[in-house]
Amino acid sequence: MMRHAAKRLLMAVPTLLVLVTLTFFLMRLAPGGPFDRERSLPPEIEKALAAEYHLDESLPKQYLRYLGNLLQGDLGPSFQYEGFRVSELIATGLPVSLALGALAMGLALLIGGAMGILAALNHRRLPDYGVMSAALLGVSIPSYVVAPLLVLVFAIGLRWLPAGGWVTGRWSDLVLPVMALALPQISAIARLLRGSLLEVLQQPYLRTARAKGLSPAKVILRHALKPALMPLVSYLGPATAGILTGSVVVEQVFNLPGIGRYFVQGALNRDYTLVLGVVAVYGTMIVLFNFLVDLAYGALDPRIKTA
């Protein structure tokens, strides 16, 4: 088990390295620079700026310098927000993004899971068809369509909830963004869990469980759910990536000060370090989550250990 975990963790290193390297050189290949303005700066100031941010060095040297700093946890100074370190900017945005993502994921697991179980229990009856139609519709409508529709109904039409913006501690600001982000995942999770439950329910040991007189609910919760969770657990990796990328749009639509907005703005302004920092944080989160998923997988299925 420990060896399996160590091996998976080792796999994360090349993933992150590829990600940071691709991002670094992609940004540098692009036309334009962080200090391009309408009016060009005097040459001596431009030179001083370049020297200050080490932009006058050769590209490989800058790349190695960045990697060296990154290893020490230093994300460098922001180009666009003068006087701010990238780590400070990310520290301000991360709590909002994390709250948004975690709530959306929790909601998706809870509702999607319940819907999946409901559908599997009523296989080929009305609740099954209802849940599956709703889920199919949910998969077909992306977050960025749901988001404005939610605003139209709940903020503009009914005036129940704020249409956007963020006041610290006002949780009603998060309701619509979380819903927009969670809806596609709810559908995906419901479909997945229904499918794997139906497959598990055909196993002989479940016939045994039913034959010894357990109630359907008990059969599901005690015997069928754990093996049926396996595909769901492995889906959590892609789901995290989906929620993170979705949050870039949702933060944009609802004007939330998370790190997704820094990403798009940073790329537009050629704020090299800010974009790299956000990508590194997202990449680390995805890799870390995939690692946890692997661990959970091993814990749920004892057969994995020997493999």
Which tokens belong to 207? Answer: 């016939």
- In the list 84, 144, 154, 297, the residue contacting another protein (rule: CB under 8 A) is 144
Task: Find the part of the chain contacting another protein (CB under 8 A) among 8-16, 86-94, 103-111, 226-234.
Answer: 8-16
- What's the min distance (Å) between Cβ of 212 and another protein? 25
What is the total count of residues that contact another protein (CB under 8 A)? 49
Min dist. Cβ of residue 287 to another protein (A): 6
Residues 243-302 that bind another protein (CB under 8 A): 244-245, 248-249, 252-253, 263-264, 267-268, 275, 279, 282-283, 286-287, 290
The rounded distance, in Å, linking the Cα atoms of 115 and 194 is 8
Q: Using CA atoms, how far apart are residues 293 and 290, in angstroms rounded to an integer? A: 5
Distance in angstroms (rounded) separating the CA atoms of residues 224 and 206 = 7
The Cα 47–Cα 41 span in angstroms is: 10
CB of 169 to another protein, least distance (A): 28
* Tokens encoding 267: 């790329």
Of 30 and 221, nearer to another protein (C-beta) is 30
Contacts 24+ apart (CB under 8 A), 263-271: 265/80, 266/80, 267/27, 269/34, 269/79, 269/80, 270/27, 270/30, 270/32, 270/33, 270/34, 270/36, 270/79, 271/34, 271/78, 271/79, 271/80, 271/81
Among 12, 50, 292, 296, the residue binding another protein under the rule CB under 8 A is 12
Counting Cα atoms < 13 Å in the Cβ hemisphere of 52 gives 13
> What is the distance, to the nearest Å, from the Cα of residue 103 to the centroid of all Cα atoms in its chain?
12
Nearest to another protein of 62, 214 (CB atom): 62
Question: Residue holding tokens 């590209």?
Answer: 59
Residues numbered 53 to 112 that lie near another protein (CB under 8 A) are none
Binding mask of the shown chain, residues 13 to 52, with x at each position contacting another protein by CB under 8 A: -xx--xx--xx--xx-xxx---------------------
- Closer residue to another protein in complex, CB, 214/298: 298
Instruction: Tokens for 293, please give them.
Output: 């998923």
**Minimal distance in Å, beta carbon 161 to another protein?**
16
- Smallest gap from Cβ 65 to another protein, in A, equals 21
Interface with another protein, residue 193, by CB under 8 A? no
What part of residues 194-253 is at the interface with another protein (CB under 8 A)? 198-199, 237, 241, 244-245, 248-249, 252-253
Cβ closer to another protein: 214 or 230?
230
Q: Which stretch binds another protein (CB under 8 A): 41-49, 68-76, 139-147, 228-236?
A: 139-147
The whole-angstrom separation of Cα 50 and Cα 42 is 12
Distances (CA, A) of 40 to 10, 67, 177: 46, 31, 40
DSSP line for 63-102: HHHHHHHHHTT---B-SSSTT-BHHHHHHHHHHHHHHHHH
Q: Which residues bind another protein (CB under 8 A)?
A: 11-12, 14-15, 18-19, 22-23, 26-27, 29-31, 124, 136-137, 139-142, 144-145, 147-149, 151-152, 156, 198-199, 237, 241, 244-245, 248-249, 252-253, 263-264, 267-268, 275, 279, 282-283, 286-287, 290
